[in-house]
Amino acid sequence: MGTTVQVMGFLGWVLLALIAIVPFVTARHRPWSHTNKQVTIQGSEDLVTELPGQPEVGFRHYAGYVTVNEKNGRALFYWFYEASIQSMEKPLVLWLNGGPGCSSVGYGATQEIGPFIVDTDGSGLKFNPYSWNTEANMLFLESPVGVGFSYSNTTTDYDILGDSFTANNTYNFLHNWFKKFPTYRSRNFYIAGESYAGKYVPELAELIYDMNKDPSLYINLKGFMLGNPETSDSHDWRGMVDYAWSHAVISDETHKIIQDTCNFDSNDTWSNISCRNGVDELLNQYKEIDIYSLYTSVCTNSTNSDNGSMQVMFNSKFKMMPRIMGGYDPCLDDYAKTYYNRPDVQKALHVSDGLQLKNWSICNYTIFREWSESRPSILPIYKKLIEAGLRIWVYSGDTDGRVPVLSTRYSLSVLELPITRAWRPWYHQKQVSGWFQEYKGLTFATFRGAGHAVPIFKPSESLAFFASFLAGETLPLER
């Protein structure tokens, strides 16, 4: 899998805040009809037909398990939405959230880019008019085992969770999923994700690229897209510190202490007491607001003890949970937890019989704390896959303090890629949506006024961005 991996012990403290979401308008669409017999056959046992509170839509969606290791009883839960229009002509996109330990169903599908958004009391769903399945067939995966509904019957599997384990299991999942949905095997395939998926996605892309040398295993991978991604630990830390200072979260004095005493390239960064104290002060200031969305409110009425907005969890490995936060309703995690722990919902998603329930949580903090393997940098994978000709787009919401735009700019600068289109604004609906720069082999863009989970803040803009990515087109240069 390329460069040497190291045990993750670098990112500091678990800092919890809550997500908010731009409210979406409920809409009704024509009911699904049996018009494509070729598709009806595949995956029919996983077809979702009676999801509680679901608005009527004109596309099919499927949910269930795919076994990735028969011997260990290891199975991953997926939720797949056909494209709402011309699904057989559109690409397949796998979406991954990070953590490690957080659910792509709970975040990506439920709060960001899926067609159904959980209502405020967890009793039903709203239609998302900016769902990415208007442009592609969207596949959401809860990975690795222990995340969401995914599981293993072998307890020792939970002791070896890490980047390589996750990539290999996701790769196995894809091949077994294609057995359920064979018409998608030759489809143009892309991977997208955010936060810690900044490591998941390139690692999976590299594995697919390497294994494609065997024609029998070929997956038609065309590229990947990442939002506010963890990329290079040392550069991510420098960017986080400089961003906090430049946005008046920490003082000049704290910034200078960290600059003078922290060697983020070292494997022994936290042995320096002055460095630790400086970073402690930075994190203490972020406790007062939402680190994932600097200018929005925090949830003050959370009933979930795991993600109380002012709670800080200490971790001896000095790590910080890179959760998916943001927007205008910072209590949405609670709604998702209520909805996915309903018996009728689990039965509709083919998770349980509706009697013996599974305990679903949006993030598994044990997985996060005990993660055994994480690459300190995935930049070597970027270089390899750029040379291979894959399409790579990276974007940053510019009000995120957790993996801020500076972290990504510092990381990408190491690649020293030639600039093919200089820094300039891009537009959506006659407004500046952000800025972007095109390099030889990579596009980098910002979203103006968006936090960590960009589609929550800028749903229409992010959908337009996604469409440009799939088409391989330059972002709009004029109003």
Amino acid 109 reads A
Give the active site residue among 232, 452, 462, 468. 452
Residue 195 among the catalytic residues: yes
Helix, strand, coil content of the chain in percent (nearest 5): 35, 20, 45
Q: 């222990």: which residue's tokens?
A: 146
Q: Which residues pair with 227 in a beta bridge?
A: 194, 395
- Is residue 9 one of the residues assigned to a domain? no
What letter would DSSP give residue 31? P
Give the SS3 label for residue 153: coil
- The closest alpha carbon to 30, from 87, 79, 85, 112, belongs to 85
Q: Report the pLDDT value the prediction gives residue 322, as an integer from 0 to 100.
A: 35
d(CA 455, CA 475): 17
Amino acid 40 reads T
Which pair of structure tokens corresponds to residue 73? 């009883």
Give the SS3 label for residue 271: helix
Query: What angle, rounded to 10 degrees, do the helices at 233-246 and 252-261 form?
Result: 160
Q: Which residues of 152-180 are buried (b: 16+ CB within 10 A; e: fewer)?
A: beeeebbeebbbbbbbbbbbbbbeebbeb
Which pair of structure tokens corresponds to residue 257? 């202490």
Which pair of structure tokens corresponds to residue 262? 């922290």
In this structure, are residues 205 and 385 in contact, taking their beta carbons and an 8 Å threshold?
A: yes
- Is residue 45 one of the residues assigned to a domain? yes
Q: Report the pLDDT value the prediction gives residue 143, as an integer from 0 to 100.
A: 97
Which pair of structure tokens corresponds to residue 426? 């891009």
Give the SS3 label for residue 172: helix
Residue 400 among the catalytic residues: yes
Residue 234 among the catalytic residues: no
CA 380 to chain centre: 21
Phi-psi region of 416 (alpha: psi -120 to 50; beta: other; left: phi over 0): left
Q: Report the pLDDT value the prediction gives residue 330, as an integer from 0 to 100.
A: 61
Q: Which residues of 354-392 are buried (b: 16+ CB within 10 A; e: fewer)?
A: eeeeeebbbbbbebbebbebbbbbbbebbbbbbeeebbb
d(CA 368, CA 319): 9
144: cis peptide before it, omega within 30°? yes
Residue 92 is part of which domain span?
Answer: 19-230+322-470
Q: Report the pLDDT value the prediction gives residue 43, as an integer from 0 to 100.
A: 73
Q: Report the pLDDT value the prediction gives residue 13, as an integer from 0 to 100.
A: 34
Split into its structural domains, the chain has a count of 1
Which pair of structure tokens corresponds to residue 377? 């940098």
CA 209 to chain centre: 21
d(CA 116, CA 95): 15
In this structure, are residues 201 and 96 in contact, taking their beta carbons and an 8 Å threshold?
A: yes
Q: pLDDT tens track of the chain, all 479 residues?
A: 444 333 343 333 333 332 333 332 223 233 333 334 344 457 789 999 999 999 999 999 999 999 999 999 999 999 999 999 999 999 999 999 999 999 999 999 999 999 999 887 778 899 999 999 999 999 999 999 999 999 999 999 999 999 999 999 999 999 999 999 999 999 999 999 999 999 999 999 999 999 999 999 999 999 999 999 999 999 999 999 999 999 999 999 999 999 999 999 998 999 999 999 999 999 999 999 989 999 988 877 654 433 332 233 333 333 443 333 334 466 667 788 999 999 999 999 999 887 788 999 999 999 999 999 999 999 999 999 999 999 999 999 999 999 999 999 999 999 999 999 999 999 999 999 999 999 999 999 999 999 999 999 999 999 999 999 999 999 999 88
- Is residue 294 one of the residues assigned to a domain? no
Q: Which residues pair with 192 in a beta bridge?
A: 95, 225
Biggest distance spanned by C-alpha atoms of the chain: 67
Taking the alpha carbons at both ends of the chain, their separation in whole angstroms is: 43
Give the active site residue among 84, 103, 143, 195. 195
Give the active site residue among 232, 400, 411, 468. 400
Assign residue 195 the CATH number of its domain. Answer: 3.40.50.1820
d(CA 399, CA 326): 9
d(CA 349, CA 360): 13
